[in-house]
A and B are shown apart, each in its own frame.
Chain A
Amino acid sequence: MTRTVCPPQSAPAVRVRGLNKNFGARRVLADLDIDIRPGEFVALLGTSGCGKSTLLRILCGLDTQFEGEVAVPSRRGVAFQAPRLMPWKRVWENVVLGLSPPGSLADAASVLAEVMLEHRAAAWPRELSGGEAQRAALARALVRQPDILFLDEPFAALDALLRLKAQQLVARVWERHGFSVLLVTHDVEEALLLADRIVLMCDGAVACQMDVTLARPRDVSGPGFGAMRRTLLAWLGVSGDV
C-alpha cells in the first residue's frame, strides 16, 4: 500500500503566511507560516495551549479575527474532539446537513458504509456509542468530498482500542480519497503512524518539522519507528527512556 504525494511544485492546498492572532493583549499565534500539499497528511503536535486549536479554527473559517494571509480549499471537512452531532437529527440527516443540493438517505448511506455505520443511519445521536458518534462525525465530514480534512484531536475521547480502529479508518479513507489532512494530536505514536509530515508548534509558531519517511502500513515495532519517536519526544521536552 504505497501512496504518492503530489509533487511539491503543485499549488499547496493550504498556504498560511505571517499569521498573527491575539486574544486581547495575548498573542496566541505569532508570525506563523505553514503549507500543506494536496494529498499530504500533516500532524500538528505541540504543548497544550500553544495555539493548535486556534490555528485550526482560523483554517476552517470559524474565526476570522486574525492578521495575515490564509488560503484554504473551499471544500473542507471538519471533525472536532466532540462529535457535535445535532441531537434532533437522525444520523443520516446529520451526515447530509448543509449539503446543497440537499443530500438524500442514499448519499448518507454510502458514506456511512465507508465508516461501517450504515446500519445506524436511522438512529438518534443519543443512541450511538462514543466511537459510533465519532465515526458519524467523520462521515459527515467525508460526504462533502473535501479537498482537506481538519481534525482536532478527534480520537482523544476514545479508549485505546477504539482509537486504534479509528486511526486505521482515517488512514483508509485518506488513502482512498486522496484529500489532504491536518490532524491535531497529542499522541506522538498516532502522528508517526498516520502522517507524511509532523509539524511541531511552540508559542504560536512552527518550531520544527519532520518528514516521516517510514513505509506504510506502519507499525509501532517497525524499524526506524522508535528512533523517530525518541526524536519527537525530545522535541517535546520529554525523555524517551521511560
Chain B
Amino acid sequence: MNTLLFRQGGMQIIVPRPQGRSGLPRPVRRLLGPVLLLAVWEGAALAGWVSPDTLPAPHSLFTTCRELAAGGELAHALEASLARVSIGVVTGLACGVGLGLLSSLTALGEDLIDGVVHMARTLPWVGLIPLLIIWLGIEEASKDALIALAVFFPVYINLVSGVRQVDPGLIEAGRTLGLSRLGVVRHVLLPGAMPNLLTGLRYALGSAWLALVFAEQVNSLNGLGYLINHAREIYRTDIIVVCLFIYAFLGLAADFSIRFLESRLLAWNGAFATS
C-alpha cells in the first residue's frame, strides 16, 4: 500500500513492505463486515427507525428461530428441503457427468448430445415449472426434476470444456506409458477436467438453491418454502426473514464444502493448496 519509491539521481530504492499487513488474522477481519452490519441493523431497530413488521430486529429473529426449532417445525422443514436438494443434486450431477463424459469422449456422443444440450441450455429453466408439473405431477418429482435440471447444465458444460482443455501432450504421454482408453480417462482426462468440474459444481449448487426456492413456492406442504408461504399468510415477517437466512447459510455451507473438495482434489494446483 505504501511502498515508497525515492528518487536519487538515476537510482531507485525500493523499500520492502513488511509481510502481513494487519495484526488481526484474516478470518476475523472478514467477520468484521457482517458483525458491523448486524450492529447497525440492531441499532436501527432499537431506535425505532424500522418497524418490526417491516424488518424485525436481529435479537427477535433469534427468539423466532428458537421457537421454530423448539416446535420441531424447523427440523421438519429443513429435512424436507434438504432431501429435495440432495435428490436433485445427485441426479443432476450424475446425468451431467455421465452425458458430459459420453459427449466429450466419443465422436458419436458429441454429435448426438452436445448440440441438443446447447440448444436446451438457452431455455430459462424456471420457465419449465408449469411443464414439469403437468408431466411429473405437483408432488416431489417435479421439484426434484427442476433442481436436477438446474444442476445438470453447469456440470455438463464445465466438464465438457474441461476435458477439451486437457493438454493433448499429456494424453499422448499417457498413451506412450501404455495406458488403456479407460486409463487415459481416469488418469489424464478426469483429473485434468477436475478444476472446471468443480467450478461447474459450485455454480450448480448455487442454482440448486435457487431452484429449490422456486419449486417450494408452488404448492408445498412442507419444507422451508412452505414455512415462508405460511408465514406470509399469517403476516410473520420474522419467520420469513429467518427462513431466508437459513437458505443463505445452507448456500454458504455448500460453498464451503466445494472449497473443501477443491483443497483436497486440487492440491496439485498451487492456487488451491492449503498452506
Contact = CB atoms under 8 A, between A and B. Distances in A.
Interface of A: 60-62, 76, 78, 80, 82, 84-90, 97-100, 124-126, 140, 144
Interface string B172-191: 11111111000100011001
20 contacts: A60-B176, A62-B175, A84-B167, A84-B169, A84-B172, A84-B173, A86-B170, A86-B173, A86-B187, A86-B191, A87-B268, A88-B192, A88-B268, A88-B269, A89-B268, A98-B174, A124-B268, A126-B269, A140-B177, A144-B178
Contacts of B72: none
Nearest to B270: A126
Given A84-B169, A97-B174, 7 more contacts: A60-B176, A78-B176, A80-B173, A84-B170, A86-B174, A87-B268, A98-B179
Contacts of B174: 86, 97-98
A61 B175 contact: yes
Top 3 nearest A-B pairs (CB, nearest first) are A98-B177, A84-B173, A88-B191
B176 A62 contact: yes
Contacts of A88: 191-192, 194, 268-269
A97 B176 contact: no
Given A84-B169, A126-B270, A89 B176 contact: no
Interface SS, A side: loop
Given A80-B169, A98-B183, A124-B268, A86 B176 contact: no
Contacts of A85: 173
Contacts of A98: 174, 177-179, 183, 187
A144 to B, nearest CB: 8
B177 A97 contact: yes
Interface residues of B, number: 21
A238 to B, nearest CB: 31
Contacts of B175: 61-62
B188 A86 contact: yes
Nearest to B179: A98
A78 B177 CA distance: 8
A86 B175 CA distance: 12
Contacts of B177: 97-98, 140, 144
A57 to B, nearest CB: 8
A126 B268 contact: yes
Contact of B187 (A60, A80, A89, A90): A89
Nearest to A83: B173
Contacts of B170: 84, 86
Interface string B63-97: 00000000000000000000000000000000000
Interface in B189-205: 191-192, 194
B178 to A, nearest CB: 4
B173 to A, nearest CB: 4
Contacts of B179: 97-98
Contacts of A125: 268
B202 to A, nearest CB: 19
Contacts of A80: 169, 173
A198 to B, nearest CB: 25
Given A89-B187, A124-B268, A100 B169 contact: no
A86 B269 CA distance: 11
Contacts of A126: 268-270
B169 A87 contact: no
B268 A61 contact: no
